[in-house]
């Protein structure tokens, strides 16, 4: 692959850095956090702009309502808490006062997926993409590394409308070059290939690139597409690639039900179906453990992508 590991960094730190930068560029940005300022890396924003930062205590539902109210006068609220408390916990608030009311709220969610590790199943949300993409008008973004999370945070500040930005806890390879363009809703072709399309989001993008190398060794040419914006989905990029490769594997750190894979499957089924395999969590809750052990156990590593590619190639 043509990407180097620039460093190891957590995506939530990319969010923190992006929030600070967006805050410097635009006075209208305000931020709220529910007793997880350190975990969300919002400390820098909070100390730089104390009058624009609201600590809500452990009251996520209240925080979403406050954020919706804060949009008056062009303010752009960013809320921060873990992904399960940003979605399932507050779903009716998000639905009524943010999505239905089309408020310009940015719901920023850390510790998504199983890779948060030791905190276990109660905290490992694997259904948040499903919940959020089902809301009309909600943009859903799942970033893959520090640089992309920083870029996305800045980009959503400039975009008008409700956004769900999903990122994670552990330190992972940071490989997206800083000068790579980021556009909401635009897929990124990371590697070109001709035999199979691999569409990945979040922490699985790096795994897809590792799979690219593995497959290349076996003479299989994979096209690796990073879909960071799950909604709206870049259908054009998907079909453009599939016209060439004729089969696809999706990869995500989410339940197999309701995630990126189902979004891609829906688009294919409604237009032109191609053989497809999905790398995702198989409709189960997580558990405590080290991030890497869990990614291995739940089948979210590059080897699982390689296996799925081989399977889908046979169905071509």
Partner 1 sequence: MALTDSELKNLKEKAAQLRKDIIDVTFWAGGAHIGGALSMVEIITILYYKYMKIDPENPDWEERDRFVLSKGHAGVGLAPMLANVGFFDKEILKTFNKFNSPFGMHLDSLKVRGLDASTGSLGHGLSMALGMALAARVKNLNYKTYCLLGDGELNEGSNWEAMMAASHYKTTNLIPIVDYNKHMIDGRVEEVMSLEPLDKKWEAFGFEVLKVDGHNFIELDKALEKAVSAVEKPVVIIANTIKGKGVDFMEDETKWHYGSIDSIAWEKAKASVKVDL
Binding site for ligand TPP (CB under 6 A): 35-36, 58, 85, 89
Distance of CA 115 to the CA centre of its chain: 13
Of residues 28, 39, 102, 221, which one binds partner 1 by CB under 8 A?
Answer: 39
Within positions 50 to 89, which residues make up the interface with partner 1, using CB under 8 A? 55-59, 61-62, 84-85, 89
Q: How far is the CB of 10 from partner 1 (least distance, A)?
A: 16
DSSP codes joined into one string, 113-180: SGGG-TT-TTT--SSHHHHHHTSTT-EEEE--SHHHHHHHHHHHHHS-S-EEEE--SSEEEE-S-TTS
In degrees, rounded to 5, the angle at the alpha carbon of residue 73 between the alpha carbons of residues 70 and 79 is 30
- Cβ-based nearer residue to ligand TPP, 62 or 221: 62
Handedness of CA 110, 114, 115, 118 (dihedral sign): positive
Q: Is 60 a catalytic residue?
A: yes
The option from partner 1, ligand TPP, none interacting with 118 (CB < 5 to 8 A, set by class) reads partner 1
DSSP strand pairing (7-10 vs 171-174)? antiparallel
- Cβ-based nearer residue to partner 1, 98 or 163: 98
CA–CA distance, 259 with 214 (Å, rounded to integer) = 25
User: How many of the chain's residues bind partner 1 (CB under 8 A)?
Assistant: 29
Of residues 11, 13, 37, 308, which one binds partner 1 by CB under 8 A?
Answer: 37
- Cβ-based nearer residue to partner 1, 38 or 137: 38
Q: How far is the CB of 13 from ligand TPP (least distance, A)?
A: 19
User: Which entry of 21, 51, 60, 253 is annotated as an active-site residue?
Assistant: 60
The option from partner 1, ligand TPP, none interacting with 236 (CB < 5 to 8 A, set by class) reads none
CA–CA distance, 285 with 225 (Å, rounded to integer) = 27
Q: How far is the CB of 133 from ligand TPP (least distance, A)?
A: 22
Residues 6+ apart with CB under 8 A from 122: 84
User: Is there a contact between 199 and 248 (Cβ–Cβ < 8 Å)?
Assistant: yes
Asked if residue 92 binds partner 1 (CB under 8 A), the reply is: no
Classify 77 in phi/psi space as left (phi over 0), alpha (psi -120 to 50) or beta.
beta
Within positions 265 to 304, which residues make up the interface with partner 1, using CB under 8 A? 287-290, 293-294, 297
Residue 235 backbone phi and psi in degrees, to 5: -65, -35
Torsion, Cα 127 12 294 83, to 10 degrees, reads -20
- Cβ-based nearer residue to partner 1, 63 or 107: 63
Q: How far is the CB of 57 from partner 1 (least distance, A)?
A: 3
Asked if residue 119 binds partner 1 (CB under 8 A), the reply is: yes
- Cβ-based nearer residue to partner 1, 167 or 298: 298
Of residues 25, 74, 100, 121, which one binds partner 1 by CB under 8 A?
Answer: 121
User: Is there a contact between 113 and 254 (Cβ–Cβ < 8 Å)?
Assistant: yes
Asked if residue 15 binds partner 1 (CB under 8 A), the reply is: no
Q: How far is the CB of 207 from ligand TPP (least distance, A)?
A: 28
Residue 38, exposed/middle/buried by CB under 10 A (0-12, 13-18, 19+)?
exposed
Q: Which residues are catalytic?
A: 60
Can you give the binding site for partner 1, defined by CB under 8 A? 33, 35-39, 55-59, 61-62, 84-85, 89, 118-123, 287-290, 293-294, 297
């Amino acid at each position: 692959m043509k990407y180097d590991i620039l460093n190891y960094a957590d995506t939530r730190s990319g969010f923190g850095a992006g929030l600070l930068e967006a805050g410097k560029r635009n006075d209208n940005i305000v931020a709220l956090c529910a007793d997880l300022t350190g975990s969300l890396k919002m400390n820098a924003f909070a100390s730089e702009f104390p009058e624009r930062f609201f600590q809500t205590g452990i009251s996520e539902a209240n925080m979403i309502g406050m954020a919706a109210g804060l949009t008056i006068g062009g303010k752009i609220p960013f809320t921060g808490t873990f992904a399960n408390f940003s979605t399932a916990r507050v779903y009716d608030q998000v639905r009524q006062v943010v999505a239905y009311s089309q408020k310009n709220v940015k719901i920023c969610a850390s510790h998504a997926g199983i890779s948060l590790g030791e905190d276990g199943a109660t905290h490992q949300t694997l259904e948040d993409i499903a919940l959020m993409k089902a809301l009309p008008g909600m943009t859903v973004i799942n970033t893959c590394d520090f640089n992309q999370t920083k870029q996305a945070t800045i980009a959503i500040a400039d975009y008008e409308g409700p956004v769900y930005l999903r990122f994670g806890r552990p330190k992972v390879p940071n490989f997206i070059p800083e000068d790579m363009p980021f556009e909401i809703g635009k897929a990124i072709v990371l590697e070109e290939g001709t035999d199979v399309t691999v569409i990945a989001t979040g922490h699985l993008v790096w795994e897809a690139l590792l799979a690219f190398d593995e497959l290349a060794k076996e003479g299989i040419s994979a096209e690796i597409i990073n879909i960071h914006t799950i909604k709206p989905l870049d259908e054009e990029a998907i079909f453009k690639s599939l016209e060439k490769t004729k089969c696809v594997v999706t990869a995500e750190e989410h339940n197999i039900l309701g995630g990126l894979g189902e979004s891609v499957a829906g688009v294919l089924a409604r237009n032109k179906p191609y053989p497809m395999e999905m790398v995702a969590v198989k409709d189960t809750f997580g558990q405590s453990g080290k991030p890497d052990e869990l990614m291995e156990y739940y089948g979210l590593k590059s080897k699982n992508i390689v296996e799925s590619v081989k399977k889908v190639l046979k169905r071509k």
